[in-house]
Amino acid sequence: MKFKIIFTLICLFSFSIINAQNKHDHDHDHDHSSQHDHTGHDHSKGGHDHSGHNHAKGGHDSDSGHELDCSHAGNHHEGEFDPGATAFHHIADANVYSIGPIQIPLPCILYNKNSGLDFFMSNKFGFHSLGHGDGHYAYKGYVLDGGTVRMIQDANFPKEKTEIKGIIHDHETNEAFVCANGKMWPTYNNSTADFGLFGGGITPFFDFSITKNVMTMLIIFLFSFWLFRKVAKAYKTREGLAPTGVQGFMETMFVFIQDEVCKPFLGDKYMKYQPFLMSLFFFILFLNLFGQIPFFGGSNVTGNLAFTFILALFAFLVTNLSGNKHYWQHVLNMPGVPGWVKIILTPVEVLGLFIKPITLMLRLCANITAGHMVIIIFVSFIFIFSQNGAVPAGGWAAVIPSGLLSFFMMAIELLVAFIQAFVFTILTASYIGAAVEDAHGHEDDHGHELAH
């Protein structure tokens, strides 16, 4: 029961924080007109023009001397294929859910300080079901840009459903401008509470929508609930019998984590923390595996810093709130250590309290994101060697090596999915174990405890 409760709490808290992150990962310089092979697609309304003209605000000279030309916003221009931008585009969060080329609308929950809360489905933006999540309409002052909602800065922009000619990006400032009613309308980036660390900041609107990453977590939460209920029922109905099927598979992993992680690091206290550690392991593992299913969702939940931050925050809180006297003495007092050395070591130990969860957060995010990007870049070789369709023979020649490399990387990623879930869990167990272990030492002639 504790395992189910803790698993549920981790899921729910992660849902809320992923929303608060507002899909900042998507706000990068990308060129929709050159990222993909768009042959056969109609971008006459929502296409992005990223080449052949300069970009600046509102059709007027900017500080850099560039100009935005709204007259080209609806035209489609083929440009040089950019595998890096394509990779970032595919691992980013969005307000649409993708199954192959099909775009499925998701609920948009948007708040801005002027008009308050708005709730509607993302298909109000009029994106094509077969496309890349580019909206052809503005709705209530918002637009859909590559699957991500942006808010138009001008409060005088019509709030009713308004057709837009396209969206133009300024690659120098990472700004986006909506072409509608013969004018250029600047938009806000998504709000990101990162204190400018990743180029984000607080804007007048917040996006609390059910994005594809949140939808993926909901799917995994429901699947996990069904799976663990099924296993629990099997233990009741098959009491005393050898486990079979799903029960046997889950028991193998459960016993492995219990015997190789919980007991060695936590000793006789392992039962108290085992539900938390099991929740971390299975939630990360299922999300990792789900993210590798081709053409289904394309989600990158464990590669999202907001998500890994929450997992690391849970580990930080459980570790330090469980810390005993011996643990805090080691951090703040360090018995037996000369006073002048404490001046140096104490700040290092205190800093270490925060470095540990930060490394947990970054390790999981970086490993999962890197794997997804490498696979996408391998597939991109086909478009690179075909010169975006201009040299079909080059593309066909790259199909087999690109496919083999992608399959090899997917096999590696399958292994990484288990390894990263295990590494996150075992490191968390080691941190908790160090916080709750009893003092093991001896005292000198003056009664002071000597640390080993």
pLDDT in tens, 254-278: 999 999 999 999 999 999 999 999 9
State whether 261 and 182 are in the same domain: no
Q: 415 and 283, same structural domain?
A: yes
Residues 112 and 242 in one domain: no
- Residue 242 and residue 171 share a domain: no
29 found inside a domain: no
Q: Is 16 among the domain residues?
A: no
In whole angstroms, give the CA distance from residue 132 to residue 136: 12
Beta strands in 292-367 (DSSP E): 296-297
Q: Are residues 362 and 443 in the same domain?
A: yes
Judge contact between 184 and 178, C-beta under 8 A.
yes
The residue among 54, 52, 58 whose CA lies nearest residue 33 is: 52
Domain shared by 70 and 172, yes or no: yes
What is the per-residue pLDDT across 152-165, written as a single tens digit (0 to 9) for each? 999 889 889 999 98
Listing DSSP states for 29-68 in one string gives: ---HHHHS--TT---TTT----SSS---GGGS--TT----
182 shares its domain with 64: yes
Evaluate whether residue 166 is within a structural domain.
yes
What pLDDT does residue 293 have?
86
What pLDDT, in 10s, does the model give residues 367-392?
A: 998 888 888 888 888 888 877 667 77
Domain hosting 168: range is 41-83+98-209
Neighbours of 19 (CB within 10 A): 20
Of 194, 209, 224, the residue at which a domain comes to its end is: 209
pLDDT at 193: 64
What amino acid is encoded at 43 in this protein? H
Domain closes at, from 158, 177, 209: 209
Confidence category of residue 57, pLDDT binned at 50, 70, 90: very low
Give me the half-sphere count of Cα atoms (radius 13 Å) on the Cβ side of residue 249.
Answer: 6
d(C-alpha 332, C-alpha 157), whole Å: 57
* 45 and 118 belong to one structural domain: yes
> What whole-number distance in Å separates Cα of residue 136 and Cα of residue 124?
9
Residue 35 domain-assigned (yes or no): no
Tens digit of pLDDT for each residue in 283-332?
999 999 998 887 787 788 998 888 999 999 999 999 999 988 888 888 88
Domain assignment present for residue 17? The answer is: no
Beta carbons within 8 Å of 403's beta carbon, 6+ residues apart: none
How many C-alpha atoms does 33 have within 13 Å on its Cβ side?
A: 23
Q: Which domain-ending residue is among 175, 209, 243?
A: 209
pLDDT > 70: percent of the chain:
74
Task: Please give the Cα distance from 103 to 164 (Å, whole number).
Answer: 19
What mean pLDDT comes out for the span 196-200?
57
* Residue 442 DSSP class: E
Query: Does residue 93 sit within a domain?
Result: no
Residue 64 lies in a domain: yes
Q: Looking at the structure, do residues 219 and 205 belong to the same domain, yes or no?
A: no
Instruction: Please say whether the beta carbons of 351 and 411 come within 8 A.
Output: no
Per-residue tokens: 163? 């057709």
Structural domain includes residue 393: yes
Mean pLDDT of all residues in 360-367: 92
Q: Encode pLDDT of 101-118 as tens digits.
A: 788 899 999 998 888 899
Sign of CA dihedral 258, 372, 203, 153: negative
Judgement on whether residues 177 and 229 belong to the same structural domain of the protein? no
Question: Do 56 and 141 reside in the same domain of the chain?
Answer: yes
CA–CA dist 105, 210 (Å, integer): 10
Count of domains forming the chain: 2
Question: Of the candidates 165, 79, 33, which has an alpha carbon nearest to the alpha carbon of residue 390?
Answer: 79
The residues, any chain, with a CB within 8 Å of residue 107's CB and separated by 6 or more, are 119, 120, 121, 122, 209, 210
Angle at 177 between CA 174 and CA 183, to 5 degrees: 155
Judged by DSSP in three states, 235 sits in: helix
Do both 186 and 220 map to the same domain? no
Question: Strands of 183-188's sheet, edge to edge?
Answer: 142-145, 148-152, 183-188, 175-180, 166-170
